[in-house]
Amino acid sequence: MVQRSVTIGLAHGLHARPAAELARLAQAVEGRLLIRAGERAVDAASVLAVMDLALGAGDRVVLEAEGSGAEATLDEAEALLAPR
């Protein structure tokens, strides 16, 4: 499993639209993508689970990916959560 720490860079936090985009990414990749906030870790493929984390701008999370292409998955997930 590969991990990466990311700061939420979305002005309005991780609301429905970016949560849905993250879930689509998680469902499309081989392996699993988790998002960890504090002690809670949820499957990023679940929009409701991701939204239940109630992540706002500036919150820190840890993304965890496994399977082939885990680094690329983390790159895509980071681009969604912390656009440059």
CATH number of the domain to which 64 belongs: 3.30.1340.10
Which has the higher per-residue pLDDT, 8 or 68? 8
**Across 5-24, average pLDDT:** 97
- pLDDT at residue number 84: 81
Structure confidence by residue, pLDDT tens digits, 17-53: 999 999 999 999 999 999 999 999 999 999 999 999 9
- pLDDT at residue number 41: 98
Start-end of H helices in 16-63: 16-28, 47-52
Active site residues: 15
* 57: containing domain: 2-81
Give exposure, 52-71, as e/b (b: 16+ Cβ within 10 Å). Answer: ebebeeebebebbbeeeebe
What domain count does the chain have? Answer: 1
Sorted by sequence, the CB contacts under 8 Å of residue 76 that are 6+ apart come out as: 25
- Amino acid, single-letter form, for residue 16: A
